[in-house]
Chains A and B, each alone.
Chain A
Amino acid sequence: MAAIELQGLVKRYGKTQVVHGIDLTIEDGEFVVFVGPSGCGKSTTLRMIAGLEEIDGGTISIGGRAVNRLEPKERNIAMVFQNYAIYPHMSVAENIGFGLYTAKLDKAEKRRRVEETGRILGLEALLERKPSALSGGQRQRVAIGRAMVRDPAAFLFDEPLSNLDAQLRAQMRLEIKRLHQRLGRTIVFVTHDQVEAMTLADRIVVMRDGRILQVGAPMELYEKPADVFTARFIGSPTMNILPARATTAAGATTLALGEQPLALPTAMGTVPADLLVGVRPQQLRVLANGEASDLVLSGKAAVIEPLGSETFVHVEHGGGLILASAPAKAPPAVGEIVRLGAPASALTLFDAASERAL
């Protein structure tokens, strides 16, 4: 049992509070990703779980046991660092075996575990090499191996893929996901890359300025973001956010945006007059001649980005650029006036003042 529970977690550096009373429960075997921009407190929170940072308030429990005052080695966790932190003066086997430094095992058993870990991670041919003779991906595997060999209750990953190139990052993402499926251990993973968060997580924790903005499954965050920040942070390319005004007459609320008024469902009740409307580029399509849609916008195509399976079109609208998608084989030309459309169900409405979702 290795559920991790954070209650009112606080961290201060001098007079500056960087983590503001976080409450979160990570279930046993769950893969949770902390995501947010630099300085949002995600790595600090992870380091507090690991015991590498003092806690200024609140409680951390691992497996039902409060660990606030326990040393990192007493928490039965393993951590993988951004720059791998594999010891350059030791061979791959020694690095992996170092995870068993305090384990009361005989040499033969330690060796067996090191070889087994090397085999699982595809490192068996590299066990006697020094880290300097390894590629970035292999070094990251060694770091994971050192964490794995201890069979810890939970794994903590601190931006472990940031130093890898795009291709290797995608490969390692897959390997980490398979590792989680194989081991079934609790994983807390920190990243600023929303693609990593979306592809790896059972649940994503979106953080900003030391606070949790939203916790949920990847698709839940993608489809029902709690605020503008989460809406823009999750999903690639970024969601379009357009200012709009709502007017109510005879009990019906309509949204003044684009070429035609858009009726809002009565179930929404009273809405503020000033709104922000979010629409994902994948759902805002370039319309064919005469094609109708709930939301219709128009503008001049400024930049065309063919991606193979589809094409993104940057369209000048309202003094800025909005991003829409077009069929891969029939994109508009640069400079062409295009009509863009999205169904009402694809729109997310936010209060312009609080930026919270309605």
Chain B
Amino acid sequence: MKVTVAITRRPEIADPQGTTVRRALHDLGFAEVDTVRFDRLLTLEVDGSDSETIRQRVEEMCERLLANPVLEDFVVEVDR
């Protein structure tokens, strides 16, 4: 089953890369850009049929490896 994991930097954590890119976009004339955040999207192919079990397993993967709990949140979506 296909699983997507969105790993986002927690909103209160600074994102210097996003801030710098926002400035570059403004320099190019895209003045409407308010914030830029650098997040990560992972796609996994996982064996199994019960999407709830898969979700729990992938969430455990996030907690133990994929996300940095000190800096990041994550959202797991299992394709049905």
User: Are A and B bound to each other?
Assistant: no
A residues within 8 Å of B by Cβ?
A: none
